[in-house]
Amino acid sequence: MAAAHPKQDPVAASPLLSAFEEVSEAVESGSGLPAVARAAAHALEASVVVLDGRSSILAVACQSPEDERAVLAGEGSAGVAVLRVADAPVGELRWRPRGTPPAPVLLRMVTTLIAQEVDRARAPERASEAAVADFVGDLLGRRVTDRANIVARAEELGCDLTAGASVIV
């Protein structure tokens, strides 16, 4: 008769999966990029800074302002990973390990989750840009000519055209 072995939680058995789980939970909870950055810093045992595609700082999880400066400057053993979604760059993750560098597979999993979160956070901005582009395209293509409709669509985009407007090309 074989001895019964108690089931072991695979996440608890693997430090790598345990570290990744915290980042995954931060993304799933919708807590936002600052919480995801803190979870990533804990998982990677590193100070981290998340930048968007324009190099604007979106989230910081560093031990001090001096540590943040060192991460951004790439001092010491700092590293940079391009955040990609569907092969399109959406930002950067900069990190500086507090001890040994993170495992490459953990770093890749964490950067993938952070990239998804950065992309998700930019979705409203992209939708707004698309709405403006559609409106301007419709105006210049003369697909919309009714004054009331033009004024109403402009108001939806935060632009007051009741006094009129001019376009110089």
The average confidence (pLDDT) of the chain is 88
Q: What is the pLDDT of residue 9?
A: 57
**CATH 3.30.450.40 corresponds to the domain 10-122:** yes
Each domain of the chain, given as residue ranges in start order, spans 10-122
The answer to whether the pTM exceeds 0.75 is no
Q: Kindly indicate the confidence band of residue 82, based on its pLDDT and cuts at 50, 70 and 90.
A: very high
Average pLDDT over residues 64-92: 94
**Predicted confidence (pLDDT) per residue in 4-25, tens digit:** 555 555 555 577 788 888 888 9
Has residue 93 got a pLDDT over 90?
yes
E strands present in 20-162? 46-52, 57-61, 79-85, 88-97
**Predicted confidence (pLDDT) per residue in 109-157, tens digit:** 999 999 999 998 888 888 888 888 999 899 889 998 888 898 899 999 8
Non-local CB neighbours of 162 within 8 Å, separated by 6+ positions: 151
Side-chain-side CA neighbours of 9 within 13 Å: the count stands at 6
Average pLDDT over residues 91-110: 93
